[in-house]
Structure 1
Amino acid sequence: MTDSWKLTRAALMVSASALLLTPAVLAAETASDDDLLAEIVVTAQKVKENLSKAPIAVSVLSQDMLDRQNITAADDLVTTVPNLQFSQNGFSMRGIGSNNGFSGYSTVATQIDGIYAPFPTTLTLGMFDIGAIEVLRGPQGTVHGRNATAGVVNINTADPGNEYAVAGDVQYGTNQDLQVRVNTDLPVSDDLAIRISAFRHVNDGRNPRYSASERFDKTDQTGVRLTSVWNAADNLTWRLSLNYGEDQGTTPLIFLSRYNYYPNANLTTGTFGPVEIIKTHQPNPGIQNVRDNVKDIKEYAARSRLTWEVSDAVTATYLAGFSVLKNDGVEATTGVFSQEYLNQRQESSSHEIDINFESDSISLVGGGYYYWDEKPSGQRLLHAGNTAPAPFGSVFNAFGPLVAGTGNQISTINAVDVVNTYTDWGSESKAIFAQGTWRVTDRFRLLAGVRSTWDTVHGGQQELVCLGGTVTRQNIDNDTCPAGGLGFTDDTDRPSRKFSKVSWKAGLDYDLTEDTMAYATVSTGYRAGGLESSTNPEPYTGYRPETVTNYELGLRSNLLDRRLFLSATVFNMDYNDLQVSSVINSPSGPVAVTTNAAKARIRGIELESLFRPTRNDRLSAYVSFLDAKYRSFPNASDNMNSADTMYNIFAPILGYAPIGSAVADFSGNRLVNSPRWSARLGYEHIVDLPDGSTLTPAVDFYVQSKTYSDSGNYIQGRNGGYTKTDVNLRWDSADQTYYINGFVNNLEDKRIASQTSVVWSSTTVSYNPGRTLGVRVGASF
């Protein structure tokens, strides 16, 4: 029996078990109001509606649910809702998301308190003191719009309470992992309340430091938030949130998981011959010599929401946000490649006005949106190295290798150092939108929405290319290389590019019964194009917008006197000009770029359930099937069969043939980060103890099938399917003042890849934590 079938069977069993448990407990007890599932209210479409009546694919996570699964970082969310994965620059959803951290904005829009958050760092520094997280799947091109072709993650932070209160907890676990969280509510008056929350998370690092100053995979994060809610008048409320976060941890340790060997290669003719793929698990060659792996990131953000209840029918809301990200540390390092920033500053600001109208027959939201971001100053230092498989690595060995491979091992060499000095690199977006629901009858509703967007992207920068391994933080300069320059480009006055699009949505929903609703929608989405370095070879100096049309059917049910919630969604998404990350060879070495695939098709089924058979039992489950393929992707960059720039420079000197960049047809291949099957089953049981306290054991089981890390679907970049089991045991005091929670995460101790990169010589990967154990002690007063 193959591993793929085993994982598929496990996914099906998870789904079936959730459904089969239902009849077994129907007669368990008669439910009272306290025993039922709480009705969840969502604001996914910028109107308040019950989750069971929302005609959209949305999942909701509370802070209690996050704590039970020990979720403190964004990448931990991938096991919680259907078809959510994590990519290097944000989230991936339904197979759409970049696996390249340097390819621009995430295809899944992240919003905190309704404000678009463009920086992936926010996902790490903002995941504390949460009210709820709403995950919207599918294009959200009308009421959200900004980079939301794949979906939206709404992170809503906690509001201040109306009474004095203090709560906090301390967690200690594997690798000397220490986390402290605290929040306090301070009602200043009847009209003004303040909440102060903070966290501190440190550990010793999961991997050795080798020659670096700190161990790899070390956590050192701090966050502080001050939130106020002021009822300035009976109909006017102002919510203001001030945030600070910093990350002084270290980069992940990069491992060599596979490398290629071509025993019958002919260097004279430049032919590969059959490949031997050698599996291994060792640090990537050269990473033992890395000196600096420390991050230095600071983020400041202000988010404001002013709500004016104009009348019983009309409400106006003004949302405003401003954030600053300062980066003065290492972003990534592999031993061959590294990227660090020097005094880089990124700024973003957004303004939005929403007008809500509500009557017996119509719900309507409309408004305007303005957003900008830029890098007004700072530098990026890119050390671009090259790798070559044996026997091609002998060319590098003859010209001063960084790491000289022997036998069938790979060789590495310094290529170039690239200095980017930013002046006006960023974007600007304007939009107007409207969406409404018409309640035709008590059971039948029609929905329609439209959004018009105008985008501008700027590419102002200077780029200096120097001899590899010669530029340091101490001798870096804007336009002069310390040991000889290879090129200089001044794009300070580079013309901007403009894009525009009208997105729309139409649908209907119908109450089949009092407890069951069905809906059908057609929606479109748009993501702006962008600029890349003008020194890249054509056509990689920019990319076009991507668009998507999504056809979706859904069913939502509250059954068994509101003890069982069921959700089923069927969808088909058609993408045009899908933006895809890849690595190409340029005169300055290997470069990560964004290109446009012609077409992609994504279709699937998502099933979710929440079940409370008794007042002491809670069960949640989902299963998803995803068929995500490129319908047409000809002339794609074929990293596996292309030599790099330095090889083609040095090989002719030794009398060998250069190897040109290869292209391939990836039509029919699966999209990156798109498991065909994934499923989750969570169960907890509350045990009432004689003294009034409770003991709650819980288990969360997740399974997914294999994924690919590259559009080429190379076997070298295939990540195998896996299971992940987390177990918790929590004790709560009788008065709910104190609790103690013990946990084991990743019980299987499985190496789960978080980032995977495939080139002609090798596959490199970083991993999420293995098995971790810990205990959390908390109190609230």
Structure 2
Amino acid sequence: MTRFHLSSKSTVRLSLIASVGATALAAASPVHAQMEEAAGVSSSIGGGDIVVTAQRKEENIQKVPVAITAFSGDAVEQMGFQRPVDVISQVPNMNFQGPFGDVGVPIVGIRGVQLYDYGDANESSVAMYIDDVYMGTISATTGQIFDVERVEVLRGPQGTLYGRNTTGGVIAFVSRKPTDYLSGSASAQYGSYNQVVVQGAISGPLSDTARFRVAGQYNRDDGWQKNMVLDRRNARTNVGSLRATLEFDATEDFLLTASAHYTRSNGTNQQQVFRGTQDPNNTSVRCSDAQILTNLCSNQAGFVNPNPKPGRIYSNQDNLRNDLEVWGGYLRADWQLADNLKLTSITAYEDVNKFVREDADASANSGGNDYVEAYSADTWQLTHETRLAGEGSGYDWVAGVFYYRDHKFVTSAFEAFQDGTYATVNDKSWALFGQANFEVAPRLRGILGVRYTEETRTLENLVAVSGAVVGTTQGTPYFQTSGAVTAKETTGRVGLEWQANDNTLVYATVSTGFKSPVYNTTTVSNQNAVGPVGAEKITAYELGSKLRFADGNATLNLATFYYDYRGIQMVGTEPGVNGAPTSRFTNLGDANIYGLEAEFWARPTSNFELRFSGAFLHTKIKAGPGVLVTGTPVDGKRLSNAPSFNASAMIRYTLPLDIPGELALQADGRFQTKVYFGPDNQLLESQGSYAVANFRIFWKAPQDKFEISAFVENAFNKAYLVHTFNDPGVDVDHLLYGRPRWMGVKLAMNF
């Protein structure tokens, strides 16, 4: 079944690579806005200095001694980003795969570090924050991007300043704030498969001391897959999101912010494409890999799909739902205690409900055994963080406390086998943290940060049942268990940064991170497979530079790194009760990772700009000879979802016009080398090198009052796998493809 090995086999999820290629580097270039200002022009991508808060203080991204890529809100809109995962194709050494398709649980990897699980009781190795609020349930990150001020992506472990310790990195979304003048925007997009995307925002004053902002987006389409059996559409999007924010000046130095949001999605799964693995003349005999790859094989019922295509599926199931509801909000206080001392407090609540159902046999003809799986999650979380930040002559610092609590009720069921699991997991964590940047010598600064974390994860009750009904506690138990595990860990960061001159920064850092022990809760029929498994730990060594040259018309940012990655947590599968597969959690082993990243931006003329990023990555698993995945030793293999090279490029040209307004042409794309979708590096679970190209044309009225654009994404309709699962004991090779060619037009206005 795809999902089980999905966790034991992470995959590159690039489904929206086609959505927006390397244009992101237009905003990702750290001093994008500074360069534009130096050139004496403005660009529709970026639009102003990119000020980030990667170190919990506002500073120009070019001055931050961290490998970070940032996107301005204008860049997000121009590049067509609509979901959090859309930014990933634009970031060096960052990949994504969605085990349940475009709107399912996202698995994000940075520099080869990612989550090897697909259950909502676990947390991602790459943390996602929205307005400084950590999203602890993975499904909560599948909402929409709209009305954002900027997006920041930090590569490397974050074991000091961010609320939850992560081994991979951080994706942080910052929403646009209320304004003290009345303003708004609206847009409408129509695209392939009857796609309609409507977005709007309005902001303004309520009084001299209060301001508001309300923004929303609705996105729907008919689905880009056709079910050849039932004549139905799959991979259908139907999601709406709304956010309201209120700011109030309690005093001249005391700002209160309250925000609430709601997202509802009820589309259908992107269904797996069938590829048989058995000899059609003797279905008890498995085909060779070469025969399977040439589509000559069948399942045990004799069904053959001679020409698998991304948009063509076979299923007798008409209720392949993918439902998601996310709501929550936060209350924030910012108090300027003195000129050089600021207190920030954020308290937030998030609630997530999801239901997913899929046809895992990928066929209407499966020998009388409809292999249908269903999953649900009902979760809530409470977070609080208080930070105190100050600065003085030659130094600045930040210190704080973080509290996290969550409750997760998760279920999974194999309908055909009448077998499943339900479980309740509670987590409590608190941390003390601090970081100081201080002058060691002229132009040389030191970095010293530390975080102490205590965490207790409690498996309140896990029950394996026959006669399971997803989303409920129904069924006849055949085993149940409970337990608790506590972790205490000190992590941190130490480094040096040298500002050689106003245009050159060089830095060297050593940082650590960890991911706490976890339980396996997804379709477990063996008590020994529940866990818990030990913590993941990582030590990262990084050397980087940020350079601005050509009179501010070009930048080049470089980073090289080495990771010592230990105790990799991974979910695998094995035979279970009644023939249904069961999952098992384990610490797979260790890994060595090293690589090099480059981001380049240049504006040769006032109406021409180009971007490029490239990244090399080497990963190697270190595991004992007895560590097997699907019967294959993994020692010496590559990590999943980790191409040895990936690159993005963008060219944008603004045409001079004799009429008012601005016309711009844009071409962008992404290339990556071969990846494996599992740590056993099977040929049948791989995707070779490929590239995706996108094209856009924009016309913008003076003063940005009105804009019309047209686009084609995945312009050459490249068919590429974002996930495939193969098990020697299963009669079908499951294929998940990236989105095909997508065209559309968009109208937008500001007022």
Report TM bin, short chain: 0.7 to 0.9
Matched, 1:278 2:282: no
Alignment of 1:4-403 (within 5 A): 31-32=39-40, 38-88=48-98, 89-98=106-115, 100-102=117-119, 104-144=122-162, 146-209=164-227, 215-257=233-275, 259=277, 276-279=290-293, 280=295, 281-282=307-308, 288-328=315-355, 330=357, 335=362, 337-341=371-375, 344-375=377-408, 380-383=411-414
1:450 corresponds in structure 2 to 450
Q: 1:619 aligns with which of 602, 610, 617?
A: 610
Flag the 1:523–1:768 CA change in 2: closer, same or farther, 3 A: same
| SS of the residue 2:269 aligns to | coil
Q: Does the CA-based 8 Å contact 1:100-1:592 persist in structure 2? A: no
Kindly indicate whether the alpha-carbon contact (under 8 Å) linking 2:419 and 2:466 is maintained by their aligned counterparts in 1. yes
C-alpha contact 2:397 2:436 (8 A) present in aligned 1: yes
Question: Contact between 2:110 and 2:168, CA under 8 Å: does it hold in 1?
Answer: yes
**Where does residue 402 of structure 1 map in the other structure?**
none
**Cα displacement string for residues 650-681 of structure 1 (whole angstroms, at most 9, x for unaligned residues):** xxxxxxxxxxxx4x421111100001010011
**Matches of 2:191 and 2:39, distance apart in 1:** 39
User: How far apart, in 2, do the equivalents of 1:214 and 1:427 lie?
Assistant: 41
Match of 2:713 among 745, 761, 768: 745
Instruction: Tell me which amino acid in the other structure corresponds to 1:278.
Output: I
* Superposition deviation, residue 295 in structure 1: 2.3
User: What amino acid is aligned across from residue 441 of structure 1 in structure 2?
Assistant: A
CA distance 1:370–1:526, change in 2 (3 Å): same
Q: When the two structures are aligned, how many residues end up with a matched partner?
A: 685
Match of 2:473 in 1: 478
Of 502, 513, 517 in structure 1, the residue corresponding to residue 490 of structure 2 is 502
1:758 to 704, 721, 726: 726
Cα contact 2:47–2:72 (8 A) shared by 1: no
Q: Structure 1 34/747 Cα, relative in aligned 2: closer, same or farther at 3 Å?
A: closer
Deviations 1:288-337 (A, max 9, x none): 11131122221111023211111111111001210111235537755464
Report SS of the residue matched to 2:322. coil
Cα offsets for 1:352-411 (capped at 9, x unmatched): 1111011121111111111011125xx624116xxxxxxxxxxxxxxxxxxxxxxxxxxx
Deviation at 1:559, TM superposition (A): 1.3
Distance (Å, rounded) in 1 between the aligned partners of 2:515 and 2:584: 16
1:56 aligned partner, one-letter code? V
CA pair 472-510 structure 1, distance change in 2 beyond 3 A? closer
Q: How many angstroms does 1:148 deviate by?
A: 1.4
Please list, as runs of the form range in 1=range in 2, the aligned pairs for 1:602-641 lying within 5 A after superposition: 602-639=593-630
Is the aligned partner of 1:679 residue 2:621? no
The one-letter code sitting in structure 2 at the alignment partner of 1:417 is D
Equivalent-residue separation in structure 2 for 1:334 and 1:273 (angstroms): 18
Preserved CA contact (<8 Å) 1:251 1:333: no
Q: CA shift at 1:417, angstroms?
A: 2.3
Larger relative CO (CA 8 A, sep 6+): 1 or 2?
Answer: 2
Tell me the CA shift for residue 624 of structure 1. Answer: 0.3
SS for the counterpart of 2:638 is coil
Q: Once structures 1 and 2 are overlaid, which stretch shifts more, 499-508 or 253-262?
A: 253-262
Q: For residue 585 of structure 1, what is the aligned residue in structure 2?
A: 575
Q: Which stretch shows the higher mean deviation, 608-617 or 704-713? A: 608-617
Measure the CA separation in 2 of the matches of 1:632 and 1:583: 18
Query: TM-score of the superposition, structure 2-length normalised?
Result: 0.85
Q: Which amino acid aligns with 1:142?
A: T
Pairwise CA RMSD of aligned residues?
Answer: 2.9
Report the 3-state secondary structure (helix = DSSP H, G, I; strand = E; otherwise coil) of the residue aligned with 2:149. Answer: strand
Q: CA contact under 8 A between 1:68 and 1:728: conserved in structure 2?
A: no
Q: 1:519 aligns with which of 493, 507, 510?
A: 507
1:287 deviates by: 5.2
2-side partners of 1:98 and 1:332: how far apart?
24
Cα deviation 1:32-90 (Å, max 9, x = unaligned): 47699954221111122221111110000123222332221233222211011113443
SS state at 2:668 partner:
strand
**Mean CA deviation greater in 84-93 or 137-146:** 84-93
> Contact (CA 8 Å) 2:321, 2:355: kept in 1 or not?
no
**Contact 2:218–2:239 (CA under 8 A) maintained in structure 1:** yes
Structure 2: segments with no counterpart, 5+ residues:
1-21, 27-35, 99-105, 296-306, 363-369
CA contact (8 A) 2:379 2:407 kept: yes
SS of 1:288's equivalent in the other structure is coil
Find the counterpart in structure 2 of residue 655 from structure 1: none
CA distance in 2, matches of 1:428, 1:220: 34
Any idea what SS the aligned residue of 2:225 has? coil
How much does 1:582 deviate? 2.3
Name the counterpart of 2:426. 426
Q: By how many angstroms is 1:274 displaced?
A: 6.3
Q: Is the 8 A contact 1:212 1:293 kept in 2?
A: no
AA paired with 1:684?
A: R
Larger radius of gyration: 1
Matched-pair contact (CA < 8 Å) for 1:430–1:453: yes
CA distance in 1, matches of 2:551, 2:624: 50
Question: Is the contact between residue 145 and residue 525 of structure 1 (CA under 8 Å) also seen in structure 2?
Answer: no
Q: Percent identity?
A: 24
Q: Could you tell me how far apart the structure 2 residues matched to 1:30 and 1:125 are? A: 37
Distance change in 2, residues 1:150/1:238 (3 Å): same
Please give the TM-score of this superposition, normalised by the length of structure 1: 0.82
Farther off after superposition, 39-48 or 164-173: 39-48
User: What secondary structure sits across from 2:92 in the alignment?
Assistant: coil
CA contact (8 A) 2:444 2:499 kept: yes
Change in CA separation of 1:283 and 1:685 when aligned onto 2, cut-off 3 Å: closer
Aligned partner of residue 142 in structure 2, secondary structure:
helix
Provide, for residues 598-634 of structure 1, a one-character-per-residue CA deviation record: whole Å limited to 9, x for no partner: 2101100000012222332222210000001113354
* Partner Cα distance (1:97, 1:117) in 2: 16
Q: 562, 565, 569: which is aligned to 2:559?
A: 569
| Aligned match of 1:712 | 680
Mapped partners of 1:508, 1:263: distance in 2: 67
| Structure 1 residues 348 and 334, CA gap change in structure 2 (3 angstroms) | farther
* Cα distance in 2 between the residues matched to 1:58 and 1:75: 16
1:348–1:382 Cα change, 3 Å: same
Deviates more, 1:593-602 or 1:736-745: 593-602
Distance 1:466 1:287 in 2: 28
How far did 1:580 drift?
Answer: 2.3
Residue 519 of structure 2 is aligned with which of 504, 515, 531? 531
Conserved 8 A contact 2:543-2:559: yes
> How far apart in 2 are the matches of 1:679 and 1:754?
17
**Matched residues in 1 for 2:196 and 2:425: separation?**
38
C-alpha distance in structure 2 between counterparts of 1:440 and 1:30, whole Å: 31
Asked whether the 8 Å contact 2:227–2:314 carries over to 1, the reply is no
Q: CA deviation at 1:341?
A: 4.8
1:437 CA displacement = 0.4
Alpha-carbon distance in 2 for matches of 1:428, 1:599: 27
Distance 2:750 2:696 in 1: 20
Q: 1:684 to 1:602 in 2, by over 3 A?
A: same
1:156, CA displacement in angstroms? 0.8
